[in-house]
Amino acid sequence: MFRTRLISGIILVLAVFLVISRGGVVLYGTVVAVSLIGMREFYQATGVGQGRTGILGLAGYGGALLYEAALWCGVERYGLLAVVAALALLMSVYVFTYPRYQAGQVMSALFGVVYVAVMLSYIYLTRQLEGGLYHVWLIFLCSWGCDTCAYCVGVLFGRHKMAPILSPKKSVEGAVGGVAGAALLGVLYAYLTESGLAGHALICAVGALWSMVGDLAASAVKRQTGIKDYGKLIPGHGGILDRFDSVIFTAPVIYFLVILMG
């Protein structure tokens, strides 16, 4: 299992590197595809739609594509309008097929649009910023870096459980190590790219905190729905949401921190 996880992890990192380096339509198309796959995993876990898809699920995908289309056209300010349109579309399905779907399914369908498609889109939006080719790596540096450092510190020094019900193996010591490790990685990255050391350390530390929230949030959904993994797309890791659960939360945080800190 470890060998499979390691090999697929290396392949995933290389794929992310190539896609983000290219940027533009390649990155945009990849983010859209990953978002739709992630939404499918979330919908399957939460029981949105019926059968393989269901009209409610299709409406959710349609809402996500409306949002992504607004980004591609360069009118991010209409992103909120697209989310409102997604809600209207989902409510239309709910009303005109009543009582086929429960209100909770409609809420989960809209949540999937925001949680997966909207939040992952900030990878593309960060890449589009001035200097985005350098800023976008902070998303993965602080999320995956925090995860790795937290695991190592937790194994060596973990004593106090951070969230014993959600994730019994995670410790307070591991969390501290994860944030500190991410901050150090930010400093190292700033040094290599000749950027502001303090700024990168702060961005990575804050991003690391949110990455842990994203990880635990995904675990909470899995526990409530009684599943072990969201999917099997990535051997040894699970589905898209299993591997990108922390990135989902980190991407918008890094985007706005980069803008605020100039």
pLDDT in tens, 18-67: 999 998 999 999 999 999 999 999 999 998 865 555 899 999 999 999 99
CB 245 within 8 A of CB 217: yes
Residue-level pLDDT at 248:
95
Contacts of 164 (CB under 8 A, 6+ apart): none
Each residue's pLDDT tens digit, 90-138: 999 999 999 989 999 999 999 999 999 999 999 999 999 988 898 999 9
| Side chain identity at residue 81, one-letter code | L
Q: Compute the distance between CA of residue 241 and CA of residue 126 in angstroms, rounded to an integer.
A: 20
Higher pLDDT, 230 or 76: 230
Query: Which long-range contacts link 225-230 to residues 24+ away (Cβ below 8 Å)?
Result: 225/45, 225/46, 225/47, 227/45, 230/38, 230/41, 230/42, 230/44, 230/45
Q: Which residue, 16, 26, 43, is CA-closest to 106?
A: 43
Is pLDDT of 262 > 90? no
**pTM for this prediction:** 0.92
Residue-level pLDDT at 51:
56
Residue-level pLDDT at 4:
77
CB 246 within 8 A of CB 147: yes
At 199, the pLDDT band (50, 70, 90 cuts) reads confident
Q: Compute the distance between CA of residue 115 and CA of residue 123 in angstroms, rounded to an integer.
A: 14
